Structure 1
Amino acid sequence: MDGVPLHVVVEGCGPVAVLDAGLAMAWFDWDPVAARLVAQGRTVVRFDRPGHGLSAPAAAPPTTAGEAHRIAGLLDALGLTDAVSGPVTVVGHSIAGFHAEAFARLYPGRTAALVLLDSSVEAAPRTVLPAAVRTGAARALGRALTAAGLPAALGPLARRVTVRASRTGGGDPAARDLVRRCYRTGRVWRGALLENSRYPDMAAEVLALRATHPLTAPATVLAGHDGSSGRGALRRLARQEDLAGRLGARFEVAEPAGHLVMLDRPDQVARAVRTAAGQLRA
C-alpha cells in the first residue's frame, strides 16, 4: 500500500471483519477477538499500519483519508472486494477509530457496519505548532532515541508497562518473542511518534468528513470502563457516549475494562462485531 510493505494476517471464512489497532499496538493484540470471530464463521483481516508491528516504516506522515484508502487498497489486494465477499465490518480501536470511521464514510458501499472500540474523541482539535514542525520534531526524536539504543534496551518493558496500565484484567498476554521482535526496534518507536504527531490533524479530518460524507452504515461505540466512579473515568465514558450520540450509533459499555478493551473483554468485543451489521440505522 503506497509502496509500503504491510504485515497482514487473514484467517477464517465468511463475512469479513477488518481489525485496526490503536497507536503503537500490533496485530497480535487482537488475538483473543480474532479467535472468537473465526470460530463464529467470520473472515478476520488484521494488519499493522506503517511503522507498527512488522510493517515497514512509514513513507510519509499519516492522514485519516489516507488510512481509509489503505484499508480499501488492502481489501482489494486480498481479493476481498464487495462483489466477491460483500461489505465488511470495520473495527477501529483508539486512534484507529478515526481511520475506521473515515473508511465507513468514504466507502459506504463497502461498509456493512462500523465498530469504534474506545475510540479517540476530539470535539475541537487544536494545534499550536504547524504540522511540518511537529512531524520534523517526531522524526528527530525517533532518530535520537534509536541512536541512543533506548528501543533495544527498554522497548519490551515499555510495551508491557503500558499494556498493564491500560487494562483491568492483568498484564500483557503477548508472546515475549513477538514483543521483542517488534518493540526492540526503533522502527516501531519512530512509527508511533510520527503517527502521534499528526493526531490533531487526523481528528480535524474526521470532523470535516462528518460534514460532507454521511454515515450510512450501522455503528456501535463500545467504551471501556473500569467500574470506578472517579471523575476522569466518568468523563471519558461521557465522551464516548457523546460520540455515539453524534454518530447515531448504538452505545455499549464494556465493564470492567481498560482502554485495551479487546484484551479485557474479548467476548463482548466479538459479540459487538458479530451483531453490528444487524442494526438498523435510525
Structure 2
Amino acid sequence: MSFVRVGGVPHHVVVEGSGPVCVLSAGLAMSWFDWDPVVPLLTPHRTVVRFDRPGHGLSAPAAVPPSAAGEAHRIAALLDGLGLTGPATVVGHSIAGFHAEAFARLHPARTSGLVLVDSSVEERARVPAAPAVRTALARALGTALTAVGAPATLGPLTRRAVVRLSRTSGGDPAPAALVRRCYGTGRVLQGALLENTHYRAVAAELLALRTRFPLPEGVPVAVLVAYDGHEGGVRSRFETRWVERQRTLARQLGDDTRFEAVEPSGHLMMLDRPDAVARAVLTM
C-alpha cells in the first residue's frame, strides 16, 4: 500500500504480484478492496495495480472535476509514478469503463488489453449546461451533508445496501473497519457526488474521443455484461435491453471484440464472478 501524487493529489495505490501489468479501476463510489476476490486469481501471472480515484477509498479529495481525458492521463501518471512504463491491460468497471477506454485511445502504445466490466454505456450523451455551477452545487451539497453528520451515520449503511442490491447473492464482503474508514467520511461522499454530477459530460467526451482516436490496432478488447439469470433464466425487459446495449458497444469497439454475458452476476461482477473477470484478463 502506498500513495502516488498526481496533479498535487495523493492517490492510494496497491501493487501486488509479478509479470505483465494489469490495472483495475472500480466504479463510482467503489474502493480498491472491491477487487479483492479477483486479485489472487491474477497475481500469479500479473502485476496488479489497484488505485482509488480522488475522493474514493483512501485517496485525497479531487482538485478538479473528472473528465474522460483527465482520468486516462491519471492512469498513465500513476503508472509512471510507480515506475511501470510498459504496456498494461486496463480493466474498467461501470463508470471506470469510460476511463479505461479513454486510456486505450489516448495512450495506445501503453495499452496491451482493454476489459470493460459491466461498463457504463451512453449512446447519445451531451454535455450538460453550466458545468462550473454543477461542480459548485455538488461540493456545497457534500459539505452540507457532512456538516450534519450524514456520512458517519448513513455512509457505511448505504454502502452495504448498494452492494447487496448490486449482487446476485450475498452481502458486502468488505471488512467493517474498512467500510467505516472510507464511507464514514465526507471525502468519499464528495467524491461520489462530483463523479455523478459530471457523469454525462464524461460520457459525451468519450463519444467525441471515439471519432478522433481509434483503439490501438491489434490490442484485444473484452466486454463483459452482467446477467443475474433470475426467474428461471428469463430475462426482464431491462436486462434484455442492457445486454443488447453492451453487445452494441462491443461491435463499436471492433469486430474482434470479445463479448460475454456473465451468468449469474450482478453489476458488481468482481464480487459475484471474479473467475470471469480474471479469465478475461488472462486470455488477452
TM-score w.r.t. length of structure 2: 0.94
Cα distance in 1 between the residues matched to 2:96 and 2:117: 9
Aligned to 2:260: 252
Deviations 1:141-177 (A, max 9, x none): 1111101101001111000000000000210000110
The Cα shift of 1:128 comes to 4.9
Which letter maps to 2:253?
L
Deviations 1:64-105 (A, max 9, x none): 1011001001111101012xxxx1100000000010000000
Which letter maps to 2:226?
G
Aligned to 2:3: none
Aligned to 1:12: 17
Aligned to 1:76: 80
Cα distance in 2 between the residues matched to 1:227 and 1:26: 26
Match of 1:60 among 58, 64, 75: 64
Cα distance in 1 between the residues matched to 2:49 and 2:128: 37
Deviations 1:164-222 (A, max 9, x none): 00000210000110000000001000000001111111001111111011112221001
Q: Secondary structure at the match of 1:115?
A: strand
Cα distance in 2 between the residues matched to 1:189 and 1:44: 27
The Cα shift of 1:52 comes to 0.1
Deviations 1:226-263 (A, max 9, x none): 11411111111111111101111211111110100000
Cα distance in 1 between the residues matched to 2:17 and 2:161: 32
Aligned to 2:52: 48
Match of 1:221 among 217, 220, 223: 223
Match of 1:272 among 239, 255, 280: 280
Q: Tell me whether 1:33 sits opposite 2:30 in the alignment.
A: no
Deviations 1:110-141 (A, max 9, x none): 10000000000000013554212221211111
Cα distance in 2 between the residues matched to 1:196 and 1:67: 14
Structure 1: unaligned runs, 5 residues or longer: 277-282
Cα distance in 1 between the residues matched to 2:128 and 2:28: 21
Q: Tell me whether 1:239 sits opposite 2:239 in the alignment.
A: no
Which letter maps to 1:61?
P
Q: Percent identity?
A: 68
Which letter maps to 1:51?
G
CA contact (8 A) 2:128 2:200 kept: no
Structure 2 counterparts to residues 82-93 of structure 1, below 5 A:
82=86, 87-93=87-93
